[in-house]
Amino acid sequence: MRTSGLGGKGQKYALASDEVDSDFWGFAHEAEGLFTPLPDEEKARRVHLAGCLPQGGLLRCVDHVGSRRAVAGNAWVELLDGDGATMGSYFVNDVTVIDVKPSASGVGLVDLTVTLWCENALPGAERLWELVRTGHLNHTGMWHELAPEDRHAWLSVALWSREYQCQGKPDAPAGQVFTLDGRHIVGRDTFYCAIGEAINGPGGYFGWNLDALDDCLRGGWGATSPFTLHWEFSAEARTRLAERVPAGDRELALFDLLLEIFEERGVRVILR
């Protein structure tokens, strides 16, 4: 992640080149279209950078719309909090300026339309970033009412904002007891939402697939093994995590595989 420094009031995004360390591209008030679902995965996103003051490599492209010199290259798009500090970022490919207009956001600002490629900015994530930005991601269970298609977006924001949300807080020491509420676990994504919250609090991350969970259990992600996990309403969760998944040369129910992974990493799970 590039560090842009602090943005000004109302600036939610910052852009910096991935190719030249010192090449900062400027701030923008909005990045409309960054999280818009694509009807065709083969197409680049069209993103409207409203209230932008382009600098560096992005500025050099502004006067060359329609030519090859309008291609700024690869970059990081940083998401900023209300104080202008970086909450998280997305890597984007082949940023190309396709339109420039004066902006109503302020004197000297422009609205840039660019095309870019970005795999990780998931539909539904923008609203969740706004919760982080405004400090409203502050109580448990906020993911319960999410539509199924938004749960993976929740997990992505939990991952990409983790460093910002932790603010240097160390892992809990070994021997801690955590409580996992199984009432709202209805499938894979909801399990990862619930375990992230159990370990790291509201909006917390502790894996979003089996490999990531195993990595988190090795330390550095909020908890230190060995620890104890009280899995409340585990019988309900067991029936909903019955999907058969490969485990080496075997096939297990997802619930049973999770228990096996916990045991292998020194976690004592108490089913309740």
Domain ranges of the chain: 13-121, 140-271
Residue 4 has pLDDT above 90, yes or no: no
Please indicate whether residue 60 or residue 248 has the higher confidence score (pLDDT): 60
Cβ within 8 Å of residue 203, ≥6 positions away: 128, 131, 132, 137, 142, 157, 158, 161, 165, 196, 197
What pTM did the predictor assign? Answer: 0.90
- Which pLDDT band holds residue 26 (cuts at 50, 70, 90)? very high
Residue 215 has pLDDT above 60, yes or no: yes
Tracing tokens 């700024």 back to the chain, one arrives at 72
Q: What's the average model confidence in pLDDT over 89-114?
A: 95
- Percent of the chain at pLDDT above 70? 95
Q: What's the average model confidence in pLDDT over 232-253?
A: 95
- Which pLDDT band holds residue 42 (cuts at 50, 70, 90)? low
How many Å separate Cα 157 from the centre of its chain?
Answer: 3
Q: What's the average model confidence in pLDDT over 253-269?
A: 97
Q: Do the beta carbons of residue 207 and residue 196 sit within 8 Å?
A: yes
Angle at 217 between CA 214 and CA 222, to 5 degrees: 135
